[in-house]
Structure 1
């Protein structure tokens, strides 16, 4: 999505197999996505160059960039280690953002010794990747112009940006979606309905292509559990049933689409 306007993008991962899979998927998606219009209604004729690199090339990639986004799994120590490294390597004018779906940027910056704490923000995108909304949120230390730049540039790249006005675990949409996921899991844990019945009813009422069980399978049930555990840390009154239900499924190797089976089976 960030490469739709012809501006180059660097994809960095320590797993070379993941880089190869990502490149193939991006090539496939580019065949169906429209290119974004450039400012002033100028037409864009080609996709930007996509460079894939191991962490050895991270410093060079950062020196060529205006924005760095971490997209590692939803584990706070891991995310913090990446943000610390980005702050160390990135030039002072590079914005550093987290794509965390539940941790606020304020939480992630706690305890870190940073050179430039005022350049950090959260920018959360959705799945599938062609979903245009993104949510942008700052920390108490974030310079206001950083947020404005992210809002402006996101819109210029074909996104639909929404500003989170106060620090909020789960941003805006994911806080509401978390309640739907949690109640779905509670219904399953109580034996009130099956995944197929829940999703069938949900899709029929709201006219959506996927129900909550299929959505969780797409995200990955291990990731869903990580997010739920973080919400529970902040709100101890949340029921245990949904997390216990997820733990049983994960123990059986049912992680969703990526393992071939979650609430449903996949090829």
Structure 2
């Protein structure tokens, strides 16, 4: 397998394209907007330069990675002859279903269709295609060039050969694949999102402030960052979307999103991407300063 198409040039899409290209694959990065593609390429080059400065890669690897990347605004042209397609569009079920209906028409027979969804049912996505056995979840973690985990999710009809192929591909990327089955939130977000939601509830109920909650989890539980800061980096809108999938899928009150989270998303306070969430992010380097609203 040499040709990979990645749909979506956002944070996850450009990271996925980066790791495939760095490992010798020809990558077609696809997005409807050329400025998004230009920004993605700039991000990839910056990340490659960071790796080069840390002596993680050589100049030759940097150049070959860049040479392996090709951008497309036309989906049909971008996925033509691709042996693997990884969809990394916005976490929106209707959008993903529409993309996979199109992929069913435009991809070559036998191509593996993977989705980077963090919570949406693989079985539901696969059902809109003619070959549901070729559809699988390939859930990378952010930032993709750094994080080792790939959560591989089998849909109800996913063929074992497809699972084996994706597992082997993940190993070639230097990742650690973990194979799970198709239930709401899979494993990663079924465990992570209730923890983040509970931290938001603790803030909402006045148990402690942002800094205190995050410090307890960092120093007491050895987490690299606190749950509220992590929520900001994930995107509060994404957290809310995943919690709603969990709540709808399991029907249990413990998955109900905290009202504070709902209000913050409604107000447009989405975390790093909007410049304000549980923390404020100011300046080109996104320096972290705690929002006065949540100080104790």
| CA–CA distance in structure 2, aligned partners of residues 157 and 241 of structure 1 | 36
Residue matched to 1:81: 98
Partner residue in 1 for 2:141:
126
Q: Is the 8 A contact 1:69 1:97 kept in 2?
A: yes
Deviation (angstroms), 1:153? 1.1
Against the structure 1 CA distance between its residues 27 and 64, is the aligned structure 2 distance closer, same or farther, given a 3 Å change threshold?
A: farther
Residue aligned with 1:216, SS = helix
Length, aligned pairs only: 256
1:72 aligns with 2:68: no
The normalised TM-score by structure 2 is 0.81
TM-score by length of 1: 0.89
Q: Once the 2 structures are TM-superposed, how far is the Cα of residue 210 of structure 1 from its aligned partner? A: 1.2
Match of 1:156 in 2: 172
Out of 69, 88, 91, the position equivalent to 1:50 is 69
Instruction: Return the match for 2:226 from 185, 190, 211.
Output: 211
Match of 2:108? 91
Change in 2 beyond 3 A, CA 1:240/1:8 = closer
SS of corresponding position for 2:120: coil
Q: 1:13 aligns with which of 31, 52, 57?
A: 31
RMSD of aligned residue pairs (Cα, Å): 2.0
**Unaligned residue ranges in structure 1 (runs of 5+):** 37-42
CA contact (8 A) 1:185 1:242 kept: no
**2:20 aligned with 1:2, yes or no?**
yes
Following TM superposition, by how much is the alpha carbon of 1:15 offset from its aligned partner in structure 2, in angstroms?
Answer: 2.1
SS in 1 for 2:198: helix
Shift in Å, 1:230:
1.0
- Between 1:181-190 and 1:45-54, the stretch displaced more is 45-54
Q: Which of the two has greater strand per residue?
A: 2
- 8 A Cα contact 2:194 2:255, kept in partner: no
Deviation at 1:207, TM superposition (A): 2.7
Q: Distance in 2 between matches of 1:17 and 1:134?
A: 28
* Structure 2 unmatched runs, 5+: 1-18, 283-296
Tell me the CA shift for residue 44 of structure 1: 6.4
